[in-house]
Amino acid sequence: MMRFEVKTPRIPIPFHKLLKIVAIVDGEDAEIRPLLERLKAEKFEVEVSDRYLRDVSEDAAVGAYIVALDGERMTPATVLARLNKLGGKHGIGRLDMVENRYVGMKSRGCYETPGGTIMLKAHRAMESITLDREVLAVKDDLMPRYARLVYSGYWFSPERSLLQTLMDESQQSVNGTVRLKLYKGTVMTVGRESKTDSLFDPAIVTFEEDYGAYNQADAGGFIKLNALRMRIAANLKRRKR
């Protein structure tokens, strides 16, 4: 991954371009600092201006581990570069935010990450059918902690390595294909499939005859047990009246 700074008369503010993201942050020029003012469209490099967004939507099929795009196998870096170009045409992945720097100050940043936005949408869609509910919940709880460590520069810390082991283990079953629709700044999941690791079982979730796959009567005891604390609280309220 490459990082460098570009300064031109047209963009006289710190401008960082990486494979995954383009960042425009507070710097020598005060143009980005009025928080209520929208940053001019020409400041952005990857994405087209709103008025040039296409009226035609586009579909993309993405592997969850980002090994292929529209059926064509390629390296993750190539996929990301291709998605940056594809997403940029549709105005995807632009973010204007005020962030809390590690040293204590607040700073405005305008970011472009069309490829990263598409990849995240695809990956989360694949996780929805291949990860156990509680595994997904634990991962979601830890993701902000992991992000804070990376943001604050603790990539080589033992705690980041520990979390990485957990994240890597959770991803062993995240395999398959996701279909996405790209249209005017939005990424919509329109299909997902995993032929080897899907936990989605249509025989169980059906409202029709499931031939014994799921006994709905089992829900009675489950509901009663989970409502126990609420029944206790309700009885206490009645006694206090």
For the segment 124-134, what is each residue's pLDDT rounded down to a tens digit?
999 999 999 99
Within 44-176, strands assigned E span 58-63, 68-69, 72-73, 94-100, 106-112
Q: Is 145 exposed, middle or buried (0-12, 13-18, 19+ CB in 10 A)?
A: exposed
Residue 61's pLDDT band (boundaries 50, 70, 90)?
low
Domain 4-131+173-229: CATH superfamily, name plus number: Argininosuccinate synthetase, chain A, domain 2 (3.90.1260.10)
The 10s digit of each residue's pLDDT in 133-155 is: 999 999 999 999 999 999 999 99
Query: In the predicted model, is pLDDT for residue 3 greater than 60?
Result: no
Distances (CA, A) of 240 to 230, 231, 233: 16, 14, 11
Residue 72's pLDDT band (boundaries 50, 70, 90)?
confident
Report the side by side order of strands in the sheet with 186-193.
72-73, 68-69, 58-63, 177-183, 186-193
Q: Which of 103-112, 163-172, 206-215 has the highest mean pLDDT?
A: 163-172
What is the pTM for the complete model shown? Answer: 0.74
